[in-house]
Amino acid sequence: MTYEVIGISVLWFFLYGYLIVASVDFGAGFFSYYTKMTDQNHMIHKIIQRYLSPVWEVTNVFLVFFFIGVVGFFPSTAYYYGTALLIPGSVAIILIALRGSYYAFATYGAKDSKFFTFLYGSTGLLIPASLSTVLTISEGGYISTSNGNVELLYGELFRSPYSWGVVVLAVVSVLFISASFLTFYASRAKDKKALDLLRKYALIWAFPSIGMGIIVFLLLNNQNPEHFQKMVDIWWVFALSLFAFVGAFSLIIKRKNYGIAFILVMIQYFTAFFGYGAAHLPYILYPHLTIYDGFTNETMAIALISAFIGGLLLLIPSLYLLVKLFLFDADYVQGRK
């Protein structure tokens, strides 16, 4: 295994971590806003707040590691993606800043503010939609390098069925992952009203998430036939993802083992996410940039790999302690402290 493959694999792990942790956060924001507008907020508000209080400050750690690593391992990405994503990236940063304002003011101050709740709910859907642009343009056809300048073709991007398919997939996946986890969390809190409502949300968003995954997979054939064929060649990986989804959905339907159901949801997205990434190799941006183009020197690569693996080994136990001491502490989860 080459340094390039090791480097991109480590980064992909961090991005997957962000996918799961941030999805729970983003979805919680939408559900909090939606239930507030439908006068059901009293049923799940305490569950969401107990989850967010110890977690929100570490959500973006995975994303920061990923972007630093991408530029460190593959400096050429800064030229291509930094130029093409100037506007979409700026929008995402602004949305993340607005979301931070909710944490800063609503959590510690005006907790009943409808304005901050709206920010919290809307950014929960808009941030994944804007960040999904990165995966969309990586398939090629959306960037022009004429005259040596990198330019994002907004007309192609907004007219593309594949582009919109990825946006919808990102949104429904966030809602399904979040609802699945919060269902499990409500069961641990022994809060029946919250459990029933969140379980309903998990079931509602289950089939849109798997359905959009299949639709985006089929749309990829027109956008990037080479990548599509590579994904077909490793079809068994995506079959595992489908089996994990069926297992999770069955457990939620049967009202049992919600923790195992969420683990199966994580496996569902792990297999699909890594299958997608493996089939995309060696390209980072098709057809302009591969993992071998502009890769950092060997000494720096070894240092970065060591640092990121060390960071991952520190981050995982830290998250375990966070979960053990706060999230799933029997007194904390049931609101007794």
Predicted pLDDT of residue 105? 66
Q: Are 126 and 95 in contact (CB under 8 A)?
A: yes
List the domain boundaries for the chain. Answer: 3-333
Q: Single out the residue of 195, 281, 216 nearest to residue 11, CA to CA.
A: 281
Predicted pLDDT of residue 117? 76
214-230 pLDDT tens trace: 999 999 999 999 999 99
Calpha distance 13→175 (Å, rounded): 21
Can you give the pLDDT of all 337 residues of the chain as single tens digits? 688 888 888 889 888 988 988 898 888 888 888 887 777 766 676 767 665 655 666 777 777 788 888 888 888 887 788 777 777 778 888 887 777 776 666 555 555 667 777 777 888 889 888 888 888 999 988 888 777 777 888 888 889 999 999 999 999 999 999 999 999 988 887 878 888 999 999 999 999 999 999 999 999 999 999 999 999 999 999 999 999 999 999 999 999 899 999 999 999 999 999 999 999 999 988 888 888 887 888 888 888 888 888 877 877 777 777 666 666 554 445 555 4
Predicted pLDDT of residue 78? 78
Angle between helices 225-233 and 235-253 (to 10 degrees): 70
Calpha distance 188→183 (Å, rounded): 9
Six-digit token string for 283: 């390209």
Amino acid identity at 311: G
